[in-house]
A and B are shown apart, each in its own frame.
Chain A
Amino acid sequence: MEVLLFGIAKDIVGSSSYRFNDKEPKPLTVKELKGKMRQAFPELGKLSSLAVAVNSEYAEDHTSVVSGDEIALIPPVSGG
């Protein structure tokens, strides 16, 4: 399971994507995914917001995630 990273999230993790270790249990929902990411990279917890996109749509905490989904962390947007 891979997570795409942009903006400050990319800087915090130090890479444009993050892959969950195959040996560990994978997150089943957006909420679990955010929790695991924040645990691995505590700086993510200091952002003013952190959303998750599943298959390029904003996802709710209860949305389930499976391998093969295109998953992305969306730190606070600042276009315009």
Chain B
Amino acid sequence: MNHIKKIEIVDQIDVSQVYDELSHANSGGVCVFVGSVREFTQNEQVVALEFETYKAMALKEMAKIADEACEKWQLNKVVIRHAVGRKEVQEPVVVVGASSGHRDGCFEACRFLIDTLKDTVPIWKKEIFKNKEVWVSSTP
């Protein structure tokens, strides 16, 4: 199958473009996950999140995830896009999605894309609170 994959690290995410990127004549389903900045983490108010990346490696790791998803499920198109820089509450920070002939494939692939991205892609998130800044997951 000829999969079409779009892998990007960008300054700003536009979620409105993703349907066009994933729609395909052979796809009966499109599934998208958007991660966004949540205002509270463990009852503490977050002012913003700041993301940084090791871009060359992150793009490689994202491409591996897309390839693996295309091996596991019959997908026509895959998108993995992550934002970097400072993101305010409610702003989108990551969008992943897939389209496939039937819904099962794209639903399962979408979950795999975001879960694996969180595990392996070298992107780091700093939570900015009113009085402190914390790199997420850095210490046990």
Residues of A within 8 A of B (CB): 4, 6-8, 11, 46-48, 53, 56-58, 72, 74-80
Contact = CB atoms under 8 A, between A and B. Distances in A.
14 contacts: A6-B52, A6-B54, A7-B126, A7-B135, A8-B135, A46-B139, A48-B140, A72-B54, A75-B124, A76-B137, A76-B138, A77-B121, A78-B135, A78-B138
Contacts of B82: 79-80
Interface size class of B (residues with CB under 8 A): 20 to 34
Interface of B: 35, 51-54, 56-58, 60, 82, 93-94, 114, 117-126, 135-140
Given A6-B53, A78-B137, A79-B82, 7 more contacts: A6-B54, A7-B124, A48-B138, A57-B60, A78-B118, A78-B123, A80-B114
B139 A79 contact: no
A80 B54 contact: no
Main secondary structure on chain B at its contact with chain A?
mixed
Nearest to A48: B140
A4 B54 contact: yes
A39 to B, nearest CB: 19
Contacts of A57: 57, 60
B123 A77 contact: yes
A29 to B, nearest CB: 19
B125 A79 contact: yes
A77 B124 contact: yes
A51 to B, nearest CB: 9
A74 B60 CA distance: 15
